[in-house]
Amino acid sequence: MSVDTATVAKIASLARIKVTEQDLAAMVPELNGILAWVEQLGEVDVTGVEPMTAVIPNHQRLRDDVVNADPLTGGDMRDAVLANAPAPEHGFFGVPKVIE
Amino acid sequence: MTNITDLGIAALRDGVAKGAFSATEVATAFNAAVEAAQPALNAFIVTTPEKALEAAARVDADRAAGKPLGKMAGVPIGMKDLFATRDVQTTAASKILEGFKPQYESTVSQKLWDAGAGMLGKLNLDQFAMGSSNETSAFGNVISPWRRPNDTTPLAPGGSSGGSSAAVAARIAPAATGTDTGGSIRQPAAFTGISGIKPTYGRCSRWGVVAFASSLDQAGAMAHDVTDCAIMLEAMAGFDPKDSTSLNMPVPDWAAALDADMKGKKVGIPREYRLDGMDPDVAKSWDDGIAWLKDAGAEIVEISLPHTKYALPTYYIIAPAEASSNLARYDGVRYGLRDLPEGAGLQDMYAATRAAGFGPEVKRRIMIGTYVLSAGFYDAYYTQAQKVRTLIARDFTKAFEQVDVILVPTAPSSAFALGEKSADPLEMYLNDVFSVPASLAGLPAMSVPAGLDRNGLPLGLQVIGKAFDEQGVLNASLALEQRAQFSAQNGSRPEKWW
């Protein structure tokens, strides 16, 4: 499968990356080169093979269902959470207006 | 008088413990070496001499008070700038995180500080660890301390842990952390004549490590030799409830159990790694390694890993897919860069921020990942790759029914020149051909220096082990190290030009 300019523009939009016409022109052959190369996986017989989900067998743990089980990742951390925000406002993350 | 900066972890720690020198003297010596080398090598994104001195002062005070000292007490190290460090800028070498000062400390870095290590600074790397030459960093290339004879062409220190490898090879840091997603510890270690180990997936906590491809990312140690790597890995590893894939098992005392006697051990040599047109020096170093392990008492067994040739294309679907998902968090809202064009709405802000903040290779991988995960293509690319990944892991499982460890080269060549491969992404990807399979299977793997090639540049040998058998990997690596005699060779460390 190969991609054209319209498809690459669509992928960029899905990925939320702004691209110029010039970016697109450069990306189309690059992505096609990579996609043509990974295409060889199609020749592998995978009949009856399960897709890998965990590389090392492990099980999902559940933590105790209590408030602030780990203080570091628990609540009451508003200032720390906002410390690196580019535009914090009134104790919240500020964003451009989304509702007219 | 010993030159302090020539010493590795064990020698520094033991010297501090015995009182041959103080931890403060050690930190001062390495701080000076870092400062002197920084303009030429660009190994660090930020330096933190005060952190190294603070940690050293604590160790000196503890020693004076007769308190027990940690495994890494008095050893200042370089921290790859992928580990979150409290109040110290953490960027993953990307503009999108410039100025980001984490409010918390990664589990691995915290463990190292708890063991008595200090921080010289945050080491440069490929942006979001995506690269094999450290050329994708937004903070400039790292220059390898190695050069070809009578030739000042700047060479790649490998990647993505290129700042780590350059710093250790140049003896401006006795050791450094690395992370390995497809070879990012092993390939730079090989390029710079140092040792580096990636443990079994899950040994080291990923909590606080900037995520690239979560099913592959694994932290590890980069240092002068096998013993130092064993000591440092012990300090880094261990169960962490904050990482859902962390292994809940004890960390063995790897350094104490090191044993280079390979009698009764079987070493697998996979025929699929002997590529057509293989670099003759790489082939010869592999043959040397086989002879050395035989000399150490091992039995050599030819094995087959039939899906080896599919490992790279599998990796270049799975890693970008996971990256596209992980990197969705960089949106200009919560931390890092925000680019808000005049009158732009929320969606435009996302797109502008990500366009301005991510470098070309990061964008390329996000785009590939987005495509292979998109409706209509998911099964053909992503599910197929995950199935082939199962087959690649199964190849290793079968091989390890026959052998204890596997020996292969670390990389298909010695260090290349900066700019030599950066024009063609595919050519750069091919440099990971020998390191990616073990990553896909989550196995422990280590690179140790094997010798110098015809250009006077280091080559590495790679030992791959069974899951959880870091000891087997370290032991075989030690047997290689003792016979390669790399550190004793003339010209086995870069001549200082910086």
Q: Of all helices (H) and strands (E), which one includes residue B301? A: strand B299-303
A52, B393: Cβ pair inside 8 Å? yes
Does domain B1-498 correspond to CATH entry 3.90.1300.10? yes
3-state secondary structure B82-144: CECECCECCCCCCHHHCCCCCCCCCHHHHHHHHCCCEEEEEECCCHHHCCCCCCCCCCCCCCC
Specify the 3-state DSSP secondary structure of B459.
strand
A52, B370: Cβ pair inside 8 Å? no
Which is catalytic among the residues B94, B144, B160, B422? B160
Mean pLDDT of chain B, nearest integer: 97
Mark residue B78 as left, alpha or beta (left: phi above 0; alpha: psi -120 to 50; beta: remaining): beta
Asked if the structure places residue A14 within a domain, the reply is: yes
pLDDT greater than 90 at residue A71: no
Asked if the structure places residue A18 within a domain, the reply is: yes
* Domains contained in chain A, number: 1
Task: Give B12-32 pLDDT, tens digit per residue.
Answer: 999 999 999 999 999 999 999
pLDDT greater than 80 at residue B98: yes
Sheet with B405-409: strands ordered across: B44-47, B118-123, B76-80, B175-180, B218-223, B195-198, B445-452, B458-465, B405-409, B266-270, B299-303
pLDDT greater than 60 at residue B1: no
Query: Which domain range does residue A35 map to?
Result: 5-41
Asked if the structure places residue A20 within a domain, the reply is: yes
A50, B390: Cβ pair inside 8 Å? yes
Task: Give A3-24 pLDDT, tens digit per residue.
Answer: 999 999 999 999 999 999 999 9
Asked if the structure places residue A68 within a domain, the reply is: no
pLDDT greater than 80 at residue A73: no
Work out the average pLDDT over B40-51: 98
Share of chain B above pLDDT 90, in %: 96
**Best residue of B100, B331, B387 to probe chain A, by most A CBs closer than 10 Å:** B387
Chain A residue numbers touching B379 (CB-CB < 8 A): none
> From the CA of B14, how many Å to the nearest CA of chain A?
34
Instruction: Give the range among B160-164, B252-256, B369-373, B421-425 with minimum mean pLDDT.
Output: B421-425
Task: Give B193-208 pLDDT, tens digit per residue.
Answer: 999 999 999 999 999 9
Chain B residue numbers touching A50 (CB-CB < 8 A): 387, 390
Work out the average pLDDT over B209-234: 98
Q: Is B247 on the interface with A (CB under 8 A)?
A: yes
* Cα torsion angle, B357, B360, B362, B366, sign: positive
* Distance, CA of B448 to CA of B461 (rounded, Å): 5
pLDDT band, residue B345 (cuts 50/70/90): very high
Work out the average pLDDT over B68-77: 98
Specify the 3-state DSSP secondary structure of A93.
strand
pLDDT of residue A19: 96
* Distance, CA of B130 to CA of B260 (rounded, Å): 35
Chain A residue numbers touching B202 (CB-CB < 8 A): 56, 58
Which is catalytic among the residues B51, B71, B80, B198? B80
B101, A87: Cβ pair inside 8 Å? no
A44, B380: Cβ pair inside 8 Å? no
Work out the average pLDDT over B422-441: 93
**Best residue of B130, B324, B370 to probe chain A, by most A CBs closer than 10 Å:** B370
pLDDT band, residue B216 (cuts 50/70/90): very high
Quote the Cα angle for B117-B123-B129, to 5°: 120
pLDDT of residue A100: 65
A56, B337: Cβ pair inside 8 Å? no
Asked if the structure places residue A10 within a domain, the reply is: yes
Chain A residue numbers touching B316 (CB-CB < 8 A): 34, 37-38
CB pairs under 8 A between A and B: 169
pLDDT greater than 70 at residue B263: yes
Task: Give B284-338 pLDDT, tens digit per residue.
Answer: 999 999 999 999 999 999 999 999 999 999 999 999 999 999 999 999 999 999 9
Q: Is the ipTM of this complex over 0.85?
A: yes
Q: Using CB atoms and an 8 Å cut-off, which of residues 318-357 of chain B contact chain A? A: 324, 328, 331-338, 340, 344-352, 354-355
> Do residues B198 and B446 lie in contact, with contact meaning Cβ atoms separated by under 8 Å?
yes
Asked if the structure places residue A28 within a domain, the reply is: yes
Q: Is B30 on the interface with A (CB under 8 A)?
A: no
Tell me if residue B184 is catalytic: yes
Tell me if residue B80 is catalytic: yes
Chain B residue numbers touching A93 (CB-CB < 8 A): 333-334
Which is catalytic among the residues B109, B137, B184, B285? B184
pLDDT greater than 70 at residue B88: yes
pLDDT greater than 90 at residue A2: no
Task: Give B365-386 pLDDT, tens digit per residue.
Answer: 999 999 999 999 999 999 999 9
Neighbours of A98 (CB within 10 A): 8
Single pTM value for the model:
0.97
Asked if the structure places residue A65 within a domain, the reply is: no
Distances (CA, A) of B378 to B181, B317, B323, B381, B386: 22, 10, 15, 6, 11
* Distance, CA of A42 to CA of B108 (rounded, Å): 39
Q: Of all helices (H) and strands (E), which one includes residue B174? A: none
**Between A12, A19, A61, which is nearest B244 by CB?**
A61
A16, B331: Cβ pair inside 8 Å? yes
Task: Give B297-312 pLDDT, tens digit per residue.
Answer: 999 999 999 999 999 9
pLDDT band, residue A63 (cuts 50/70/90): confident
